[in-house]
């Protein structure tokens, strides 16, 4: 009888993310009295990935967002050297390192959700939005939506712009969800932010 992969939940979460149109998800992970936020990222079209990699994980120390580790992973393992993993999580060295890592995987697997959770605290949303902005070659501090635009040549909005707007402006996103050639524009400055009504009115005038 074939055994279930130790990180099987990653595969289930990936499938749920794809079904719901998310390229990023996040959850908390506590290890040795230290809290981490884990960003789960799907590979996008044409993105390079190691053979057998399923998705990317970014571990971020909850009280120090500069302390991070980004890895490739699949349902069997985190694809990084044992030494780097051990040093990042302060896993004690042992002659039975394989057993120690197995224990770590088993413990970590208990934190991995199998479905997207739409209700996240602000600190986790902030990290997700920052990551999405960087992936879209945008300044992560651009969080103030001021207009929408129709892309030239019927180009679809990026999945990063899509997910960022779902997190920041869910009601506005719902109005344009099915219009995939429309992107949402963000500013660094709060004074530039517009209400949904203002954005819709201005968009209507341009049509």
Question: What is the predicted pLDDT for the residue at 94?
Answer: 78
Residue pair 166/23 in contact (Cβ under 8 Å)? The answer is no
Q: Residue 193's pLDDT band (boundaries 50, 70, 90)?
A: very high
pTM of the model: 0.92
pLDDT tens-digit series, residues 77-101: 999 999 999 999 998 877 787 788 8
Mean of pLDDT values over 45-54: 92
**Chain CA centroid to CA 152, Å:** 27
* pLDDT at residue 99, rounded to an integer: 83
Q: Is the pLDDT of residue 1 over 80?
A: no
Residue written as tokens 């197995």? 102
pLDDT of residue 200: 96
Give the residue extent of every domain in the chain.
8-109, 122-206
Q: Are 61 and 33 in contact (CB under 8 A)?
A: no
CB 112: neighbour CB atoms within 10 A?
A: 20
pLDDT confidence of residue 132: 97
Those residues with Cβ within 8 angstroms of residue 28's Cβ, 6 or more apart along the chain or in another chain: 35, 36, 37, 38, 62, 111, 124
Average pLDDT, the chain: 94
In this model, does residue 195 exceed pLDDT 90?
yes
């Amino acid at each position: 009888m074939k055994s279930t992969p130790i990180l099987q939940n990653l595969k289930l979460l990936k499938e749920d993310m794809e079904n719901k149109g998310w390229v990023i998800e996040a959850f908390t992970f506590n290890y040795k009295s230290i809290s981490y936020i884990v960003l789960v990222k799907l590979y996008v079209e044409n993105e390079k990935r190691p053979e057998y990699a399923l998705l990317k994980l970014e571990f971020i120390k909850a009280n120090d967002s500069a302390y991070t580790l980004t890895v490739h992973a699949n349902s069997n393992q985190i694809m990084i050297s044992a030494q780097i993993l051990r040093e990042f999580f302060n896993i004690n060295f042992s002659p039975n390192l394989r057993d120690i890592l197995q224990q770590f995987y088993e413990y970590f697997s208990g934190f991995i959700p199998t479905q997207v959770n739409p209700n996240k605290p602000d600190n986790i949303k902030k990290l997700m939005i920052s990551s999405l902005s960087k992936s879209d070659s945008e300044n992560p501090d651009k969080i103030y939506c001021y207009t929408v635009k129709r892309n030239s040549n019927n180009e679809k909005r990026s999945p990063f712009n899509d997910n960022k707007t779902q997190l920041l402006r869910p009601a506005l996103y719902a109005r344009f969800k099915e219009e995939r050639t429309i992107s949402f524009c963000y500013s660094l400055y709060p004074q530039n932010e517009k209400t949904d009504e203002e954005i819709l009115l201005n968009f209507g005038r341009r049509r």
